Structure 1
Amino acid sequence: MRKDIKRLIILLVSLVGIFALAHVLQSSSTKTRNNQNECKKINSIIAQEFNYAEKEIDNLAKQGEKEKLDSLVFYNYTQLFRKKQAGIFLYNESELIAWSTNRIPAPLQADSLQTNKNHIKLTDGYYMMHKINANKFSLVYLQNIYREYNYNNEYLNTGFNTLFNLNNNCEISLYETQNFVPITINGSKLFYVDSKSVETANYKLPAFAFLLALILFVILLIEASKFLIKNNVNQLLVLLALAIDMFILRLIMLKFSYPIAFYNLPIFSPEYYAESFWLPSPGDLGFNIILVFIWVLCFHRMFNTQTKQTSKLSNTLISVSAGIVVVVVQAFLSLRLSNIILNSSVELDPEKILSFSNYSLYLFAIILLFTLTSILLIDKLSKILHKHIKLIIFGFTLLATLTIWFFVANLEIRELIFPVIFLIIAFILFVIRQKQKSYNWYAYIVLIFFISLLLSDKLRYVISVKELSTRKVLASNLANERDAGAEFFLINTSNNIASDKHIENYIIKNDSKNLYNYLQKNYIKGYLSKYDLQISICKPIDSIFIHPDNELKHCYSFFSEMISKKGVPLIGSKFYFLEKHNGLISYFGYFKFLSDEQNETQLFIELNSKLFSEGLGYPELLLDKTYAPKKTMKNYSYAKYNNKKLIVKKGEYEYPYKYFFENNKSDFDIANLKDYSHLAYRPDSENIIIMSVEDKGIQRNLISLSYLFFICFALFGIYHISSNLLKKDYAYIRSLKNRIQFSILIIIIISILIIGAISINFIVKGYSDRHR
C-alpha cells in the first residue's frame, strides 16, 4: 500500500510542477515585437541592394562604351530577376528599347521616370530605382521591394520581396503617415514603413507542457481508481467517479477555452470539423473520444464481478436485455460516425488514402478508435454475462430489435448493412466468450475482417450521402450560375466602353453594324468570346421589336422593366446579371451618350452564353480571391437542358442532345448510366440541370475494404507483437504453431509495407514525370 501511495504522491507532485511550468511558458509565449527593429533591418537590406545596383549599372555603362548596350542588357542579365527580383531597362530619348526581364511592368515611355527619385510605384508594387545616362541612352535598374496588387488570390500575394526574408506584417506607403518611419538611401526617402508594435505568440511549447500535464492528470485518476478498488471500494462507484472527473475536466476546458495554448493551435479550429458545443473542433473531438476510450478500457480491466447462478427466466431476461443494449450501442456508434464524416471538411474516403492530409489521417484514427471503443464495451458485456446468455434468445432479440428500429427510424434497406455487420461482430464476441473464454488467432482474423467491412460500409455510404447533398447544392447553384471571370472583365471594361470615342461616333451615326463589329473585336473577345453579343441603339422616343412575341414596345421602358425585375447590379460598372432562368448565363449593360446637339442616345448591350459552351475555364491568375471559382466542380460533369434540349455542357461525360431522363415530377432524380451517377434537378418546368460523377460501384467498395483490412491487420499485428514483447512472454514464440503465425504476420506486414512504399514512389514519380 505504501508503494501505491508513494506512486500517487509522485504523480501529484509531477502534475503540479508541469502544470506550473506550462502556465509560465504560456504567459511568456506572448511577445511584443517592435517594428522599428524591422524597419532598421529593411533600411540595411535596401542600402545593400542599392549599392549593388550602382555597381551593376556603372559596370554596364562602361561596357557600353565598347559594345551595344541593348545586346548587353538582353543577354547578360537574364538571371537577374531570379537572383534579385530585379531587372535592367534601356531607354532612348523617348521609349523603352531593351530589357532583361518581362516580369517587371516597367514604363514604356522614358518621361515616366523621374530622374530625381530613387523609387517608383508600378502596377504590381513598390520598386527601388537607380537611373544613369549613358551616351544618348538611359539605363534603369529596378528592383522589387514590396509586392502590392489591386487584388489577391492563390497566385498573387502582397508582401516584401521574398528574397529579403522580411516580416510581411509591416505596411508600406509612399507618403508620410502617423506611426510610419522613412526608409532612406543617401538621405533620400524611398518609402515609409509602419513602426507600430504588434503582439506575437508561439503556443506550441506551452501546449506540449499542458498536454503532458493532462496525461499525468488522467494517469493520476486511473492510479487513484486502482488504489480505491484495491482497498475494496465499490468498483462501479469508482468507475462512476472516474467518468464524472473526466466530464468535469472537459466541461472546464470547453466552457473557458482552457488552456489558451490549446485553443490557439490550428487543430482546435472549426475549419476542418465542428458539430456542437461539446465537439467544436478536431482537437476537442479527439480529447473526448480518447477519454471515452480510456474509461471503457478501465471498465474492461478493472470491473471484475462473479455472477451468481440464476434461473432460466432471469437468463432469458438477461439475454433479451443484452441484445437491446447491443443494438443501442450500434445505433449510437452509427450516429456518431455519420456525424464525424458529415461535419468534417477533409477527405476520408479510404480509396483516396494517398491524398489524405494530416487532418484526414487524424480523423480517420479517431473513427478507428471510436469503433474499437464500442467493440471493447460489447466484449466486456459478453465477458460479464457469458454464463447467463442464451445464444438463440440473444440472436433472436438482436434481429427483433433491429427490425423494430428499422421501421421506427424509417431506414432504407441500404442502411441495414452497417447494423447487420455490427450485430454479427457482437454475436461472434458472445459466442467466443461463451464457448472458448478467450480469443485465438483465427478469431482475431475474423473480427478484423468484419470490423474492416463495417468501417468500409459506413464510410462509403455516408460519403456517398454527403457527395449527393453536395451535388444537390451545386445543381441548385447552377440554376442561377454566375460567371466570375466574365464579371471581372465586364467591371474592368465598363468605364472604357463609356468613354470610348469610337463607340460614341458609331452611335451618333446610328451605325449599328460597324458598332457591333467594333465591340466584338475590342471588348467581347478572349474570355468573353464564349458569349453571344446583342446590341440596341435607342433614343428616348424609340420603340423596339421583341422576339419571339412579335410585339413593339417602348425601348427605354422595356429595358428598364427588365433590369428592375431580373437585374442584379455588378458593383462598379454599368452591367447587370440577368436572372432569366433559361439555363444560360446573361449580362446586360446600358450606356448613355450625348450628341453635339445634346440629344440623348443609349446603347444597350446584352450578353448570353453560347449554346453547347464548354467554357474557357476561369483565368484564376487574373481574378481576385473574392471572384475566384470554387474547386468543388473539378470532379463533376454537368449539363443544362432547356425545353429538353441541351444548351450547355461541361466535363468529361458526353451528354446527348435530347434529355435522356424519365419524365418524373420530383425536383431531384438519380440514375446510373454508363458508369456514371447522374442527378437531375428541375428548378422550373422548362429547365433541367444534370450533375454527373463517375461511379465505380463495387470496385470502389473492394478497394476501401482492402485498405481498411490492411490498416486494421497491421495495427493489430503491431499491438500483438509489442504487447507480448513488453510482457516478456517469450513462451508465446516457443510454440511451433505460434512461431508459424508470428512469421506469417511479420512477412505479411513487411511485404505490404514494401509494396505500398514502392507503389507510392511509382505514383509520385509518374506524376512528376507527367508534369515536368
Structure 2
Amino acid sequence: LSDGTSPTINHFQKVLHKKEQRLQDEMLVLAKRAEKQNYSTLFSEKPNYYNTLLEKEGLALLIYENDTLKFWSDNSIAVENWIKEVCLDTKMVKLHNGWFEVMHPNSNSTTTKTVVGLILIKNEYPYQNNYLVNEFRKDFDLPAETKLITDPPQADSNNAVKNYKYDYLFSLKFDTTTSSVSTLSYISVFLNIAGFLLFILFLKNITSLLQKRIGKNRSLILFIFLVGLFRYISIILSFPESFYNFNLFSPQVYADASSVWLSSLGDLLINVLLLFYLSYVVFTEYNFDNLFSRLKSLNKLAISLILFLCFFWFSWIITTLFTGLIKNSNISFGINNLFSLNQYSYIGIIIMGLLLFVYFLFADKMVSVLKLLGLSTKQYILVFLLSTAVHIFISHFLGTLDLVIIFWPFVLILFIAGIKKRQITYPFSAIILLVFLFSLYAVHIFIKHIKIKEKENRKVHIEKLAAEQDPIAELLFQDIEKELVSDSILVSYVKKPTEFEKRIKQQYFSGFWEKYVVRIALFDSMCVPIILSPNIAFDNNLYFDELITDKSVPTTCEHFNFLKNTSGKISYLAKLPLYKNYKARAKYGTLYIELDAKFISDEIGFPELLLDRNIGLSQELTNYSYAKYKHGQLINQYGKYSYNFTGSNFDLFANYYVFIDKEGYNHLLFRPDPETLIVLSKRSEGLIDKVTIFSYLFAFFSLLLLTILVLRQISLGRILENFSFKYRIQVL
C-alpha cells in the first residue's frame, strides 16, 4: 500500500475548493448588504449564523472601510487595522491563531468598503495546551504532524496545494517518521493481522499432519518453536512495516533495551497474546500422561524441586515485566484517576492480566504434576522449604528485598494446592479469591513502582526549578531578535509610545511570553527617553547599561542577558538597536526590554488553560505544590499546600535530596546552594486511594477473566450450553 500522499492532496484541494466557492457566495451577499445597511444592522441581523460560521465551516468575513475594521463575523480571529496593509493583500496569511487563505469578492472595486474572506486552514497558536492545539481543520482529514510550507514549490512537487484558480497557495509536508493514521493504514494493519493469524493456523495444521510420524507432543513442540522463530524474525525485521507506523510500536511509549522481545508496547502485546495462546494450546492438547510416566522413572524429589524453582522463576519474570512496564514507559498508570488513563494504559493492564492468567495455568498444571508424583507429605514439605530458601537467597542476591514480591507465589501455590486436594474444578468462590489475590499483587506493584518513578521524576523537576535561567526563553528570543530588529513598521509607532509598546508585546511577546512581565524602555540616538516611566531611574539608559555590565550573565543569545537577583525569579534584559532603515543600518535609538517571570498562582486564574504544552515543566507541576526560600525567607510559592513564611520547618534537613512526610504531603527538599531551599510537594496517597486502585483492578481482571471464559466457550461451540442456572447468575 502506498503512503497516500497524492490522494490526500486531491482530497484536501476538493474540500478547499468547495470552501472557496462557499466563501465567494457569502462575500457577494455581504457586499450587497453592506451597501444598503449600516454596520449595527449587519451585526444584529444574523448573529448566530455568523458566530458559528468559523466553528462549523472554517469561514470568516471582514469589512474594512477607509482602512478601519468595521465588521467581523467572528471575534476569535486576531486581526487589527495595520494587519490589512501588511498581510491581507496576499493569498495566504499567518495570523496570531492560525493560517488562513485570503479571498476578495469578484465585484467590489467601486466602493470604499473592502470585503475580505478568510478560510481557516490550520490552527497555529503561539503556545499549546489541552485546549489550544496546532492542527489542521478536521474536514481536511490530514495525518497528524503534517506541516504547512509557504515556500515556492519545486517544479516536480506533488504536495503543492492550489486554489480553484490554480494559483499556488502552499505545500504540505508529511512526516514519514511518525504514524500517519489514515484509512489505508488501518486497512494495511487489518490485512497483516489476518495474514498473521492465517499463517499461525497454517503452521498448526502443518505440524498436526506430522503427528503420525513424530507424535502429538513433538508436533506441538515443533509448532511452538516455529511460532517463536517466526515472531523473532518479524521483530528483528520490524515486520509488518505498517505496524511500526503506529505509536503503539514506538519506543517513545515503551521500550526496554534489556531484550529484543520488549522493543515496544505493541511488540510486548503481541508476544503476550502469543504466549497466552501457546499456553492454552499446550495445557489443552499436550499429552501429559507420557510425561508423567517418564518422570516417575526419574528422581521425584529432584523433579519437584525443579518445578518449584521454575514456578518461582516465572514469578520473578512477571514482576520484572510489570516493573519494566511502569519504569520504562511514558504510560500513565494512575488507576485511581480514570480520566488520566489512555489507550496505552488499558493495553498495559491487559498485558498484566494475561501474564497473570498464564502464570495461573502454569501453577495449576504444576500442582497436578506434583500430585501424580506421589510424594509423601514430609517430602513435599522438604522440597517446598528447600525451593523457598533458594528463591529467597536468589531474590536477595538480585536486590529484591520486598517481602510481598518474594512470598506472594507461596500463597498462590498453597491456595491452588488446597483447592486441588479437595476437588477437581474451581468453585466460584475460589475463582473470586484468586482474582482477589492477583489484584492485591498488582496493586502492590503499581503503588510501589509508580511511587519510585514519581520520586525520580520529581528530582528532575526540582533541578529544573532550581535552574533560575530559562533555556527555552533564550532559544526563542534568538528568532524574536532577528524579526524585531528588522521590523520596518515598528519605528512608525515611536510617536505614539502606547501603540509602540502594544505593537511589541502583541507581535513578539504573546503566547509563551505571557509568563513574563514585559517592560519596555526606548531611547533615541541622543539618549533621550521616548517612553517615560513612573520610576525616574528607568528614564536613564545608564541604569540599564549598568545592570547589563554589573548584574547580568551572558546567555546563548548575544543581546539577551540574564539578571542575577535575590528574589529567586527569572529576569532577563535585552538591549537592541532600533533602525529607521534596517537595510541602510540607519539607527534611530536603543531599545531595552526587561522580562520578569510571573508566578502561576499569582498571575493566572486557570493554569490548565494557559499552560504551554511545549514547555512541559509547567504542565507537569500542576499536580504539585512548590516553594522557594532564600536566606530562610519564602520568596514565592504555588499550589494547594500552605508553606510557612520561613523555612524553619525544613532547616534540619540540609542534605542534597531529602523526602519527608508532613501534613498529608510528601515533600522533596533540595538545596542548590547554602542560601536557597526548594520544596516540591505532592499529596500523599491515603487508604482510600489504595482501595480505589484495588477496586478498579479487581473489576478489570474480573472482566478480562469473564471475556476469556466466554471466548473459550465460543471456540468450543457451547456458549452457556449445559450451564446451570446458578452458574449463569454468577457469570452475570
Structure 1-normalised TM-score?
Answer: 0.72
Which residue in the other structure is 1:334 paired with?
Answer: 319
1:257 maps onto 2:257 in alignment:
no
- Correspondence list, 1:479-494, <5 A: 479-482=466-469
Instruction: Please give the secondary structure, in 2, of the residue aligned with 1:696.
Output: coil
Report the Cα distance in structure 2 between the residues aligned to 1:220 and 1:54, rounded to whole angstroms.
Answer: 64
Matches within 5 A, 1:47-126: 48-49=21-22, 51-53=24-26, 55-61=28-34, 64=36, 68-78=37-47, 79-80=49-50, 82-83=52-53, 85-93=58-66, 95-106=68-79, 108=81, 112=85, 121=93, 123=95, 124-126=99-101
Give the distance between the partners of 1:335 and 1:114, measured in 2 at CA: 59
Deviation at 1:60, TM superposition (A): 1.0
8 Å CA contact 2:336–2:693 kept in 1: the answer is yes
In 1, Cα distance between equivalents of 2:457 and 2:320: 20
Paired residue secondary structure (2:555): strand
The equivalent residue for 2:673 is 684
CA–CA separation in structure 1 for the residues paired with 2:721 and 2:323: 43
Where do residues 611-690 of structure 1 align in structure 2 (5 Å cutoff)? 614-616=602-604, 627=615, 631-659=619-647, 660-661=649-650, 663-690=652-679
> 2:701 is aligned with what amino acid?
C
Q: Which residue of 2 aligns with 1:763?
A: none
Q: After the TM superposition, which residues 496-645 of structure 1 pair with which residues of structure 2 at under 5 Å, given as runs?
A: 559-560=548-549, 566-570=553-557, 574-577=559-562, 583-591=568-576, 609=597, 614-616=602-604, 627=615, 631-645=619-633
Q: Report what 1:509 is aligned to.
A: none
Q: Out of 653-662 and 525-534, give the one that drifted further.
A: 525-534
SS state of the match for residue 650, structure 2? coil
Which residue of the partner structure matches residue 456 of structure 2? 469
SS in 2 for 1:640: strand
Q: Distance in 1 between matches of 2:133 and 2:426?
A: 60
Letter in 1 for 2:623: N
User: In 2 relative to 1, CA 471–231 (structure 1 residues): closer, same or farther, beyond 3 Å?
Assistant: same
Letter in 2 for 1:653: Y
Give me the whole-angstrom Cα distance separating, in 2, the residues matched to 1:249 and 1:227.
19
C-alpha distance in 2, partners of 1:717/1:196? 47
Q: Would you say the 8 A contact 2:27–2:61 is kept in 1?
A: no
Once residues 198 and 585 of structure 1 are traced to their aligned partners in structure 2, the CA distance between those partners, rounded to angstroms, is 36
Shift of 1:710: 2.4
Which whole-Å CA distance do the structure 2 matches of 1:164 and 1:599 have between them? 47
Structure 1: state its 5+ residue gaps: 1-27, 506-514, 540-552, 750-772
Alpha-carbon offset, residue 462 of structure 1: 1.6
- 1:610 Cα deviation after fit: 7.1
Is 1:696 equivalent to 2:681 in the alignment? Answer: no
- 1:73–1:88 CA contact under 8 A, matched in 2: no
Q: Which residue, out of 187, 194, 206, partners 2:188?
A: 206
Report the counterpart of residue 267 of structure 1 in structure 2.
248
1:412-423 mapped onto 2 (5 Å cutoff): 412=401, 415-423=402-410
Whether the 8 Å contact between 2:60 and 2:74 is mirrored in structure 1 is yes
C-alpha contact 2:670 2:677 (8 A) present in aligned 1: yes
Q: Structure 1 residues 520 and 72, CA, compared in 2 at 3 Å: closer, same or farther?
A: closer
Measure, in 2, the Cα distance between the counterparts of 1:440 and 1:670: 47
- Classify 1:419/1:558 alpha carbon distance in 2 versus 1 (closer, same or farther; 3 Å): same
The residue type equivalent to 1:396 in the other structure is L
Partner of residue 271, structure 2: 288
Q: 1:265: Cα distance to partner? A: 3.7
Alignment of 1:433-448 (within 5 A): 433-434=420-421, 436-448=423-435
Count how many residue pairs are aligned between Structure 1 and Structure 2.
676
Runs of 5+ unmatched residues, structure 2 = 526-541, 580-585
Match of 2:134 in 1: 157
**Residue identity opposite 2:272 in structure 1:** I
Please state how far the C-alpha of 1:56 moved relative to its aligned partner. Answer: 0.6
RMSD: 5.2
**Greater shift in the superposed pair: 256-265 or 477-486:** 477-486
What aligned pairs does 1:670-749 form with structure 2 within 5 A after superposition?
670-717=659-706, 719-720=708-709, 726=716, 728=718, 733=723, 739-740=725-726, 742=727, 744-746=729-731, 749=732
3-state DSSP of counterpart to 2:634? strand
1:460 aligns with 2:447: yes
> Which whole-Å CA distance do the structure 1 matches of 2:84 and 2:320 have between them?
71
| Matched residue, 1:345 | 330
SS in 1 for 2:411: helix
- 1:127 has 2:102 as partner: yes
The Cα of 1:408 is off from its aligned counterpart by 1.9
Q: Which amino acid aligns with 2:38?
A: L
Tell me the equivalent position of 1:410.
399
- In the TM superposition, what is the alpha-carbon distance from 1:243 to its structure 2 partner? 3.5
CA deviation after TM superposition for structure 1 residue 282, in Å = 1.9
* Of 336, 349, 354, the match for 1:364: 349
Structure 1 residues 164, 383: CA separation in 2 closer, same or farther (over 3 Å shift)? closer
Question: CA distance change for structure 1 residues 111 and 363 in 2, over 3 Å: closer, same or farther?
Answer: closer
Q: Whole-Å Cα distance in 1 between the matches of residues 261 and 646 of structure 2?
A: 51
Distance in 1, matches of 2:333 and 2:251, equals 17
The residue matched to 1:683 in structure 2 has which SS? strand
After TM superposition, give the deviation of residue 338 of structure 1 in Å.
0.8
In 2, Cα distance between the equivalents of 1:623 and 1:638? 16
CA distance 1:644–1:388, change in 2 (3 Å): farther
Larger Rg, first or second structure (1 or 2) = 1
1:35-83 Cα offsets, whole Å, 9 max, x none, are 8856974785366246414531453155x1xxx4222332235333532
Q: Offset at 1:259?
A: 2.2
- Give the stretch that moved more between structures: 246-255 or 657-666: 657-666
> Which letter maps to 1:108?
N
CA distance in 2: counterparts of 1:43 and 1:446, whole angstroms: 60
CA contact (8 A) 1:611 1:648 kept: yes
Is 2:15–2:139's contact at 8 Å kept on the other side of the alignment?
Answer: no
- 2: distance between equivalents of 1:639 and 1:496? 36
The equivalent residue for 1:248 is 229
> Hey, what's the Cα distance between the residues in 1 that align with 2:713 and 2:58?
60
CA displacement 1:68-109 (0-9 Å, x = unmatched): 422233223533353254455444445334444434455527
Does 2:360 match 1:375? yes
Distance 2:206 2:415 in 1: 34
User: Which AA in structure 2 matches 1:286?
Assistant: L
Conservation of the 8 A alpha-carbon contact between 1:322 and 1:394: no
Give the distance between the partners of 1:224 and 1:114, measured in 2 at CA.
69
Aligned-pair identity (%): 21
